[in-house]
């Protein structure tokens, strides 16, 4: 018998006292994404919640369209649209209490706005004008995270610290399917489960990490199944069903607040627009695929339920759309104004105490700007302005 055969035949027997730490069965997600809209359960949904979801979805759809148009006008450097994913964005914001924290990714601008951040401030980072663009503490929204999944360990750290301090706070961290391939995703889930931190992870599985389909990222039955390996429950939900996403996230937030630990939620949705305005999505997916997902549009699903229950007529629909148009007009007008910029802000938020090198660079730039200002107001030897 070869050494490899001997090794293959070796089956260590655990000591009698060994037993699994956690029964994996309750942690497993459902075989199919959880749905509410279009089922009998939808009839029990609160009318007020349905109307709120609908208004936020319509507003979010218009926000995405207006922000995309602003990139074409040169008012935004880049915009990662969440068109088609509005149900996840809106539900994430509505599932949280005021004292909770939201940790968004770069595509979650709509969730940031739904949380209460000014629409222009939410776009400032993507405009290239300033740092975050908003005060994270005002609405308890962490900065938009462009590096993939780096916000997840931050969410765990905040949630763990809040629990140690006795604060009744939950963190909800959003990430795309591509972010689950990052080491930060693993580290965050592992720490969250070991510490039983009050944090909820929402994975928006929109089918692609830029052009890479999910099948080339993982062989797992679903991304929600990854939760079992960390010792936390996984939930699989239809990400275009705003009512279902809201219910699942609300339940996960409640569980975390009550000391039940973290939850991994996978929302199966679709990115209808390109990855960003710099992407050509036709190179890696077909028009038929996009059309099929448009027939499962999150805005239409809620409107159909409201109409079926007699909760939405033409006047109410017009009022919701008019409000969204007013928001878009205000956003358009304010984004067309050039914001006053101070170059010294480049050095203001790098270190708590500026390093000698940073102070040197700051002083050098200040001197150069002062020199340029002096040249602009003076005349050269030929009497012409420079």
What pLDDT, in 10s, does the model give residues 151-203? 999 999 999 999 999 999 999 999 999 999 999 999 999 999 999 999 999 99
State phi, psi for 96 to the nearest 5 degrees: -95, 150
CATH number of the domain encompassing residue 146: 3.40.50.970
pLDDT at 98: 97
Residue 383 lies in a domain: no
In this prediction, residue 341 carries a pLDDT of 80
Please tell me whether residues 212 and 299 are part of one structural domain. Answer: yes
Q: What is the pLDDT of residues 156-168, one digit of tens each?
A: 999 999 999 999 9
Residue 385 in any domain: the answer is no
pLDDT above 90: residue 378: no
Based on the fold, state whether residues 180 and 49 are members of the same structural domain.
yes
Res 4 pLDDT > 70? no
Estimate to the nearest angstrom the gap between the alpha carbon of 104 and the chain centroid.
4
* Of the candidate ranges 20-29, 61-70, 177-186, 353-362, the one whose mean pLDDT is the lowest: 20-29
Regarding whether 85 and 57 lie in a shared domain, the answer is yes
Q: What's the pTM?
A: 0.88
What's the pLDDT band for 129 if we cut at 50, 70, 90? confident
Residues 144/112, Cβ–Cβ less than 8 Å: yes
Task: Tell whether 138 is covered by a domain.
Answer: yes
Cα 272 versus chain centre, distance: 16
Residues 170 and 52 placed together within one structural domain of the fold: yes
Segment 227-249 shows an average pLDDT of 97
Instruction: Examine residue 382 and state whether it is found in any structural domain, yes or no.
Output: no
Is pLDDT larger for residue 215 or for residue 383? 215
User: Across all residues in the chain, what is the average pLDDT?
Assistant: 92
Asked if the structure places residue 8 within a domain, the reply is no
* 13 in a structural domain: no
Cα separation of 36 and 128, whole Å?
A: 40
Position 366 pLDDT exceeds 90: yes
Q: Looking at residue 3, what is its pLDDT? A: 53
Long-range contacts of 305-309 (CB under 8 A, 24+ apart): 305/37, 305/38, 305/42, 305/45, 305/50, 305/243, 306/50, 306/51, 306/54, 309/43, 309/47, 309/50
If asked whether residues 33 and 108 sit together in one domain, one would say yes
The pLDDT, as a whole number, for residue 346 is 84
For residues 138 and 271, membership in a common domain is answered with yes
**Residue 18 placed within a domain:** no
Judge whether residue 16 has pLDDT over 90: no
pLDDT of residue 326: 98
Bridge partner residues of 34 (DSSP): 237
Q: Tell me, what's the pLDDT at 265?
A: 98
- Dist. CA 177–CA 330, nearest whole Å: 33
Per-residue pLDDT, averaged over 230-249, amounts to 98
Is residue 143 assigned to a domain? yes
Annotated catalytic sites, by residue?
Answer: 271, 275, 284
Residue 231 belongs to what domain range?
A: 25-277+285-335
What would the mean pLDDT of 295-300 be, rounded to a whole number? 98
Query: What is the tally of structural domains in the chain?
Result: 2
Q: Are 271 and 353 in a shared domain?
A: no
Cα(359)–Cα(285) distance, integer angstroms: 50
Of the listed ranges 99-103, 182-186, 296-300, 337-341, the one predicted with least confidence: 337-341
């Amino acid at each position: 018998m070869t050494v490899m055969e001997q090794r293959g035949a070796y089956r260590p027997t655990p000591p009698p006292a060994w037993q699994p730490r956690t029964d994996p069965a309750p942690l497993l997600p459902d075989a199919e994404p959880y749905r509410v809209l279009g089922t009998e359960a939808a009839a029990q949904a609160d009318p007020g919640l349905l109307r709120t979801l609908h208004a936020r979805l319509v507003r979010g759809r218009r926000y995405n369209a207006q922000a995309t148009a602003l990139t074409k006008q040169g008012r935004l450097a880049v915009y990662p649209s969440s068109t088609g994913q509005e149900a996840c964005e809106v539900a994430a914001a509505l599932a949280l209490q005021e004292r909770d924290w939201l940790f968004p990714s770069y595509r979650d601008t709509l969730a940031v706005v739904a949380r209460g951040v000014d629409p222009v401030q939410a776009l400032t980072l993507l405009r290239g004008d300033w740092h975050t663009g908003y005060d994270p503490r005002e609405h308890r929204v962490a900065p938009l995270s462009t590096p993939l999944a780096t916000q997840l360990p931050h969410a765990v750290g905040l949630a763990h610290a809040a629990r140690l301090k006795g604060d009744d706070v939950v963190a909800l961290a959003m990430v795309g399917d591509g972010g689950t391939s990052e080491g930060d995703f693993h580290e965050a889930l592992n720490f969250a489960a070991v510490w039983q931190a009050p944090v909820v992870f929402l994975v928006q599985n929109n089918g692609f990490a830029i052009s890479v389909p999910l099948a080339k990222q993982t062989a797992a039955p679903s991304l929600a199944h990854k939760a079992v390996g960390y010792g936390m429950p996984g939930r699989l939900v239809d990400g275009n069903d705003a009512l279902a996403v809201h219910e699942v996230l609300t339940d996960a937030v409640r569980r975390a607040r009550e000391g039940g630990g973290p939850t991994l939620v996978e929302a199966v949705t679709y990115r209808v627009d390109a990855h960003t305005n710099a992407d050509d999505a036709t190179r890696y997916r077909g028009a038929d695929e996009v059309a099929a997902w448009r027939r499962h549009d999150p805005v239409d699903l809620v409107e159909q339920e409201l109409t079926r229950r007699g909760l939405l007529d033409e006047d109410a629909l017009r009022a919701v759309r008019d409000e969204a148009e007013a928001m878009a007009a205000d956003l358009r007008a304010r984004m067309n104004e050039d914001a006053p910029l101070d170059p010294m802000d480049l050095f203001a938020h790098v270190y708590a105490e500026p390093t000698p090198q940073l102070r040197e660079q700051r002083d050098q730039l200040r001197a150069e700007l002062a020199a340029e200002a002096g040249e602009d107001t003076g005349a050269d030897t030929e009497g012409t302005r420079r």
